[in-house]
Amino acid sequence: MSNRKVYTDYFFDEPAYNTHDGGFIPLEAPKVPQKALAIPEPLKPDEETDTDMYYTVTAQTGEVQLLPGTKTKTWGFNAPLLGKTIIFKNGKTIHITLKNELPELTTFHWHGLNVPGPITDGGCHAPVYPGKSTQIEFKCHQPAATLWLHAHPCPSTAEHVWKGLATGVIVKDDIESKLPFPRNYGVDDIPLILQDRHFHENNQFDYLADYDPDGVQGPTPMINGTINPYFDVTTQRLRLRLLNGANRREWRLHFSDDLKFTQVASDGGVLPEPVDFTHLMLTCAERAEIIVNFGDYKPGDTVTLYCDDVPIVHFRIHQFTPDNTKIPDHLVDIPNPEVTPGTQVHKVVMSGMDEEVMMNDKKFDMQRIDDRQKVGNVEYWDISNTNDKSNGMVHPYHMHGTQFRVISRNGQAPYPNENGLKDTVGVNPGETVRLKVWFEHLGVFMNHCHIIEHEDGGMMAQFEVYDPDQPKTYKLMDMDTLMNAFAKERGVKVADLHIPGMDNM
Ligand code: C2O
Ligand code: CU
Ligand code: CU
């Protein structure tokens, strides 16, 4: 065993936990029999060469046997629910055909991927209409990481994700592949997409019935689209690629026996130094890759993963060959560029709760650019949450188009697992988190709270990454175009369209 310190803390401010929300819906242990955890299949490339990868990603409807009885109607990417895992190799040029087979428009947002905005990035400016397809192409240029793809048709992002449009994206590279980590996908390297749902009559989702402007929740944990999952452990060490894919829920994770685990990667890739924990909290959209060592268990044992005190995955231990691999104290070097002299600190203020949420005292406007940064510059961004310390909430702040560094929290060191590349950071009430941010690609990008109902409700802004030698103008989407399209697709008048996020704007 190593001499590293073992943290036993969730770090975030306890009074701000979602458990204190007026509308908090506690998780409940599902009463249905345990079922094998679904492992999303890797998406097969249409073609792959030494330099290029070609994929088709299809947003589709489907049905899944989630609970005994009637199947649940769902949406997914290349699968009925959630999706197949999409794998990119760093350095290759990626060509993707995006196909929409849903009854309404959606978008394909690559959360955490460094690509140009706003079209390739896939936010609200890049709708793909039903029955249509488009192509994107980009060079994958970032370290190995666990990212994700999700729908982003503002202000209906939350509903699309709730119906199932979210899936894992894995970037691979030659550095991570030499580290002593498990990487046999599906066997000792598995994604865990953490979500919660509420099942209504006939086992169906009903987003509007569950709507809460502070974030939609349900009592049933749904992990990789499985209710009450178990996983058969056949190796001593298991790598879990944790993704908080919930609309609002925070996941406070720990194992039975307070089993220690090691976090080796955060949102944007491998951490410079691994961090040992017994407890870990993930706010919406955050990822953590952890390695769990089952060396002290024997066949027949079960190790349970909990969120607060509710079991969410049962790891059934089987025979495995002993594995004494140690995780080194230093893993990778990551960039920490100097701030460009003479640049100003960007300020972002997240305020309010419920329908009142805003960013810099404004509601989101697709046509307005709120901030600008020169491509290649390295600048500080100070992100504040003005919620009250005693009854406010943690707002997970996310930026498209970058992997940033977290510099400080109210002037103090960030949490021990925040020394890597990140694209989402939970900001406590009364706190200012300083980020160091740089961009490689031009474009218009979004920054927002990743409680998805907050982003739909207007706690979102846009910035342009520009090059003074190459001025560009962008044709930005507008709310009327999207609303008219949704109304037509849903067969209602615009006035009768019920998209709750829109009502809050
Ligand atoms: Cu996960 Cu604006 O995105
Ligand atoms: Cu994103
Ligand atoms: Cu928020």
Compute the distance between CA of residue 243 and CA of residue 225 in angstroms, rounded to an integer: 13
pLDDT digits (tens, 9 = 90+) for 9-24: 999 999 999 999 999 9
**Residue closest by Cα to atom 1 of ligand 1:** 111
Sorting pLDDT into bands at 50, 70 and 90, what band is 505? low
Domain spanning 346-481: which CATH class is it, in words?
mainly beta
If DSSP states are collapsed to H, E and C, what string results for 238-295? EEEEEEECCCCCCEEEEEHHHCCEEEEEECCEEEEEEEEECEEEECCCCEEEEEEECC
Compute the distance between CA of residue 204 and CA of residue 218 in angstroms, rounded to an integer: 12
Residue 475 burial (C-beta neighbours within 10 Å; 0-12, 13-18, 19+): exposed
Residue limits of CATH 2.60.40.420 in the chain: 30-173, 346-481
Residues with beta carbon < 5 A to ion ligand 2?
111, 400
Sorting pLDDT into bands at 50, 70 and 90, what band is 74? very high
The confidence score (pLDDT) of residue 501 equals: 79
pTM of the predicted structure, to 2 decimals: 0.98
**CATH tag for 30-173 (out of 1.10.10.10, 3.40.50.2300, 3.10.20.90, 2.60.40.420):** 2.60.40.420
Residue recorded with tokens 């017994």: 278
Quick check: bond before 471 cis, omega within 30? no
Ligand nearest to the CA of 401: 2
Q: Which numbered atom of ligand 1 lies nearest the CA of 400?
A: 2
Q: Rounded mean pLDDT of the chain?
A: 97
Gap from CA of 162 to ligand 3 centroid (Å): 17
Coarse DSSP helix, strand, coil percentages of the chain, rounded to the nearest 5 percent: 10, 40, 50
The residues lining ligand 1, judged by C-beta closer than 6 Å to any ligand atom, are 109, 111, 123, 150, 152, 285, 398, 400, 446, 448, 450
pLDDT digits (tens, 9 = 90+) for 104-143: 999 999 999 999 999 999 999 999 999 999 999 999 999 9
| Token output for 461 | 């802004």
**CB-based contact 192:240 (threshold 8 Å):** yes
The confidence score (pLDDT) of residue 484 equals: 95
Q: Which helix (H) or strand (E) holds 396?
A: strand 395-399
pLDDT digits (tens, 9 = 90+) for 272-287: 999 999 999 999 999 9
Gap from CA of 452 to ligand 3 centroid (Å): 8
**Residue closest by Cα to atom 3 of ligand 1:** 111
